[in-house]
Amino acid sequence: MSGDPDEIDVHLQLVERDIQVDGCAVRVHCHCMTVDGNGLVKPMRLAEFMRDAIADYAIPKAKMSAARERDLKYKSSSAVTRLHNEARATFTDLSKSGEGGEMLLFLLAERFLGIPQVLCKMDLKTDSHMHYHGADGVYASVTDEGLLKLFWGESKIYSDATTAIRDCLKSLAPFLVEDDSEGSSRERDLVLLSDKADLHNPELTGAFKKYFDRTSKLSNRVQYCGVALIGFDADFYPKDGSKAVSNEIVEAARTEMSGWINNVGNRLSEEKIQDFEIQFLCVPIPSANDFRKSFLEALGLSNEPR
């Protein structure tokens, strides 16, 4: 895993974690935007925090490690800077891009949930204006009993919470419920995991890849799970530069959570994935549209005024 987990708290405040949904294996977690000492909510600060971590997200760990070693040897920062620029070039400048949500999913999966990414779609893109068709990243953990939990990632940043929940779980469902076959939604990612999985340690990576070798008994020791993130507009944030009160925002989020959780439970049943382990991250924000614009601006990819 990469980065300081406590840095998340500078930009996102935990409202609740590990909320159970009756009849489902999901765990729901909720964060809201933090309020600074001047009573302001600063989406641009969150976007800049996300931007500063793009190389951790988009560059394979072994490649980044080699760059750091080279910089240490030559007392330079040029190799890591080059990779940061390389990472930035993989992001699209399309205004409706979902890559900001995918980046936020990565940060919360690794730094909040402690589930490391093992396959990033950004490293597979050949054109910054094209989207990779697969999961929004793949994350993994191994139990003490040697069971590999493979978490397929999906994220949606929409203005409406109900629509975000519906589309996110609808997109996630095929990765969980489809039979293992060459035509399944996850098959391409599984093939890539057998080739491109990167745990920053050659021995660990080699052992990990055996889970995707269908001639190995370990291929029967894989459990499919999900990690999902939704961001959506919340009207409890102050408008027009008015001062915010942190406790009031947190309590307002808690009040509205029951509605979000009910929607999650209903959609899990609709998609028939209620029995799968899913980590579900809710992030109410002032504006989904401004979130996307802020991220593009932080990357230097937006010409639109916010």
**Rounded to 5 degrees, what are φ and ψ at 149?**
-100, 115
> What is the predicted pLDDT for the residue at 90?
87
Checking if the pLDDT of 261 tops 90, the result is yes
**Phi and psi (nearest 5°) for 232?**
-160, 160
For residue range 161-217, list pLDDT tens digits in order: 999 999 999 999 999 998 877 777 788 788 888 777 777 777 777 888 888 888 888
DSSP assignment of 84-120: HHHHHHTS---TT--HHHHHHHHHHHHHTS---EEE-
pLDDT number for residue 53:
95
User: What is the mean predicted confidence (pLDDT) over 58-86?
Assistant: 93
The percentage of residues in the chain with a pLDDT greater than 90, rounded to a whole number, is: 65
Per the CB < 8 A criterion, the answer to whether 228 and 170 are in contact is no
pLDDT at 304 over 60: no
pLDDT of 124 strictly over 70? no
Identify the pLDDT of residue 303.
57
Q: Which residue has the tokens 């697969």?
A: 134
As a whole number of angstroms, the distance between CA 31 and CA 145 comes to 32
Least confidently predicted of 32-36, 103-107, 145-149, 188-192: 188-192
The structure tokens listed for 246 are 């942190």
Burial of 138 (0-12, 13-18, 19+ CB in 10 A): buried
* Axis crossing angle, helix 288-298 with helix 99-111, rounded to the nearest 10: 90
| CB distance 87 to 94 below 8 Å | no
Question: In the predicted model, what is the mean pLDDT of residues 6-33?
Answer: 97
Q: Give, in order, the Cα–Cα distances in Å from 124 to each of 76, 95, 145.
A: 28, 21, 32
Give pLDDT tens digits for 279-293: 999 999 999 999 999
Q: Is the pLDDT assigned to residue 66 strictly greater than 80? A: yes
The H or E element containing residue 151 is strand 148-157
Provide the token pair at 293: 């614009």
Band (pLDDT 50/70/90 cuts) for residue 133 is low
